[in-house]
Chain A
Amino acid sequence: MVKDVLLQVKNLHTVFHTEDGTVEAIGGVDFEVRQGETLGIVGESGCGKSVTSLSIMRLLPKGIGEVPQGEVIYKGKNLLKLSEREMRKIRGKEIAMIFQEPMTALNPVYTVGEQLAEMVELHLGMSKKEAYDYAIKMFEKVGIPMPEKRIYEYPHELSGGLRQRAMIAMMMSCNPNLLIADEPTTALDVTIQAQVLDLMRELLKEYNSSLIMITHDLGVIAEMADRVAVMYAGRIVEYADVVPLFKKPSHPYTVGLMRSIPRPDVEVDRLDSIKGVVPDLFHMPKGCRFSNRCPYAIDKCFEEEPPLVEVEPGHYTRCWRYQEMEELSKHWESGEEVGKTSK
């Protein structure tokens, strides 16, 4: 059964005008999110995950960030073409965002209830009284104990987990069709992480909302996502349903990511890691953007950027050697330039 496509991002480019010149942070990203599904965007810091979400919401810093080309089609409307006023009606009501650090994302001078109430007053046109009753209901729903008391507390009076719950309550309060969660569990400890993820999954199911989950944590992806986009240096390098992705990663970056997380069933002395860091936007490698860190890079990789090709139905990758990847991925010699034929 193919569900309706809720959000479609086509060839999205985002550039930043900096003092040292214009750089391209996102270079042609395509993906889609279907109704009720979760798309995971995974990658290490600095590869454009958050910029993608800000571009969709049109929240890039004014005068600095710009989307020169591409389309973001939400329910048939191109969000990039909407007026600021129309966009404001979409934000919060249709598409909501959950931030990484709930402490800083909540305004410290208002009680959490007040902040939730403000939002439903704004978008759903409730009266103050109704909004507060609604706030209590939402807090109850996200599992905050004693909600009728908690809504009168300030963010600093709540624990990290409760704060993130309050944030989620706030984001779900207008029943948005699409949630964008930018590393929602990174700032929480592991036990709380699991609770928050469970809660999000339940709410998504109840409201039949879609989710874009931005994270660097493959564990979170495995647990939450239906489809995954692996991003590297402003490009999607692999895009697939979650099961095929984990079963048959077809891009060396994905392979590297998977090898660098501990697994209880495999005993190793040392975890593998991907050497180096994401190249800086001013000094992108000429060919494949991952070429300078890739253990399997061949000459072609340094000269020409590979296109996004379909490995199997619905599974795309951006690598010249994808056909050999299954064999190659068996040994990951980080640092050793295995597979590099010459240079």
Chain B
Amino acid sequence: MEGFVKVLKKLMRNPTSIAGLLLVLLFVAIAILAPVLAKPPYPDTPYQMPQNGWSSVPQPPSHEDIFGTTEGQYDIYYGIIWGTRTAFKLGIFVIGLALIIGLFVGTISAYFGGWVDEVLMRVTDIFLAFPFLVGVIVIVTMLGPGLNHVMWALVIFYWMGYARLIRGSVLEVKENDYVMAGRALGTPGARIITRHILPNSIYPILIQVSMDMATIPLTAAALSFLGLGAPVGYADWGQLVSFSRNWIISSSGGNPFAYWYTITYPSLAIILYAMGWNLLGDSLRDILDPRMLI
């Protein structure tokens, strides 16, 4: 607890880390307060964006839809609020699971070395050999469309990066004298891994995770766009952006930016979300790693 307060204090000293922390906290708050901020018209299916008519032309912000509507009249404000939850859900699930697999494979591989390393790394290579999106598409097609299946498919093709990163990091850390000292003190192998090696090799991963928290929702959005992810109308930033694809510059003459709201609001949400995580990740690294203090 004392350590946590220390970290917070250090975070508060740096303006960029404050910005990152505030942005992430803002999105966390939005996600938690989603039912209050945008009351779902159908409580059973809160992730379904309500439609305000059927016109294929986006409608500008109004009293009713404060960020305007997309083509098909989905409420952009509602989509952004509930899309925050989708983004967190995707990020936490996919990265959490991929991280667990990656940590396990990478650590075992580096710590034991020899043929264990050889086998695990070749398996990793096999997974890396598939083009990422193609691999995910194949898996989703096999499992059938749907957000849950997308998440699993992403996990299957996302853990390799973590495994390699962790492996490299562990290889470096395990050569340190304190690992040898730990063994010389009679510490069991499992404890050496969890106490001495992982805490010292986790930092590069931490940054990668915070960056990925931003990219995973984007990838999922790309899949939604291909019709493999979330069903049409599911609150998802990627889907909102893809709705706006035809309206970035108005083709019907007049003001070319007449439909600015369709692209601006969802993109802003994505940018701020990604930026928040990146800033937070960077400053967390600086703060949490005692080696940076030397």
Please report the C-alpha to C-alpha distance between residue A109 and residue B191 in the assembled complex, in whole angstroms: 15
Question: Do A107 and B186 contact each other (CB < 8 Å), given the known contacts A63-B114, A154-B290?
Answer: no
On whether the beta carbons of A59 and B180 are closer than 8 Å, the reply is yes
Please report the C-alpha to C-alpha distance between residue A62 and residue B191 in the assembled complex, in whole angstroms: 18
Could you say which residues of chain A place their CB within 8 Å of the CB of B293?
Answer: 154, 156
- In the assembled complex, the CB of A309 is this many whole angstroms from the nearest CB of chain B, namely 35
Instruction: For B202, give the chain A residue with the smallest CB separation.
Output: A109
Could you say which residues of chain A place their CB within 8 Å of the CB of B290?
Answer: 108-109, 154, 156
Residues of A within 8 A of B (CB-CB), count: 29
Does A233 count as interface, using CB distance less than 8 angstroms?
no
On whether the beta carbons of A104 and B184 are closer than 8 Å, the reply is no
On whether the beta carbons of B184 and A156 are closer than 8 Å, the reply is no
Question: Do A57 and B185 contact each other (CB < 8 Å), given the known contacts A101-B177, A105-B177, A109-B200?
Answer: no
On whether the beta carbons of A122 and B187 are closer than 8 Å, the reply is yes
On whether the beta carbons of A107 and B200 are closer than 8 Å, the reply is yes
Please report the C-alpha to C-alpha distance between residue A256 and residue B15 in the assembled complex, in whole angstroms: 63
On whether the beta carbons of B199 and A104 are closer than 8 Å, the reply is no
Does B122 count as interface, using CB distance less than 8 angstroms?
no
Q: Which of B114, B176, B177, B191 lies at the interface centre, i.e. has the most chain A CB atoms within 10 A of its CB? A: B177
Could you say which residues of chain B place their CB within 8 Å of the CB of A118?
Answer: 187, 195
Please report the C-alpha to C-alpha distance between residue A217 and residue B176 in the assembled complex, in whole angstroms: 25
- In the assembled complex, the CB of B166 is this many whole angstroms from the nearest CB of chain A, namely 16
Among A62, A106, A123, contact of B181 (Cβ-Cβ < 8 Å): A106
On whether the beta carbons of B184 and A59 are closer than 8 Å, the reply is yes
Q: Which of A88, A109, A154, A170 lies at the interface centre, i.e. has the most chain B CB atoms within 10 A of its CB? A: A109
- In the assembled complex, the CB of A183 is this many whole angstroms from the nearest CB of chain B, namely 12
**A144-194 with Cβ < 8 A to chain B:** 154, 156, 170
Does B245 count as interface, using CB distance less than 8 angstroms?
no
On whether the beta carbons of B114 and A107 are closer than 8 Å, the reply is no
Question: Do A122 and B184 contact each other (CB < 8 Å), given the known contacts A107-B196, A107-B200?
Answer: no
Among A63, A92, A154, contact of B185 (Cβ-Cβ < 8 Å): A92
- In the assembled complex, the CB of A65 is this many whole angstroms from the nearest CB of chain B, namely 13
Q: Which of B199, B290, B291 lies at the interface centre, i.e. has the most chain A CB atoms within 10 A of its CB? A: B290
Instruction: For B2, give the chain A residue with the smallest CB separation.
Output: A152
Does B188 count as interface, using CB distance less than 8 angstroms?
yes
Could you say which residues of chain B place their CB within 8 Å of the CB of A81?
Answer: none
On whether the beta carbons of A119 and B185 are closer than 8 Å, the reply is yes
Does B104 count as interface, using CB distance less than 8 angstroms?
no
Does A91 count as interface, using CB distance less than 8 angstroms?
yes
Does B39 count as interface, using CB distance less than 8 angstroms?
no
On whether the beta carbons of A156 and B181 are closer than 8 Å, the reply is no
Please report the C-alpha to C-alpha distance between residue A88 and residue B195 in the assembled complex, in whole angstroms: 16
Q: Which of A62, A90, A107 lies at the interface centre, i.e. has the most chain B CB atoms within 10 A of its CB? A: A107
Question: Do A91 and B188 contact each other (CB < 8 Å), given the known contacts A107-B178, A156-B290?
Answer: no
Give B residues with C-beta under 8 Å from A: 113-114, 176-178, 180-188, 191, 195-196, 199-200, 289-291, 293-294
Of the A-B pairs whose beta carbons lie under 8 Å apart in the complex, a sample of 22, sorted by A's number, is A57-B184, A88-B187, A88-B188, A91-B183, A92-B186, A97-B181, A97-B184, A97-B185, A104-B177, A105-B177, A105-B181, A106-B178, A107-B196, A108-B291, A109-B291, A110-B195, A110-B199, A119-B187, A122-B186, A122-B191, A154-B290, A156-B290
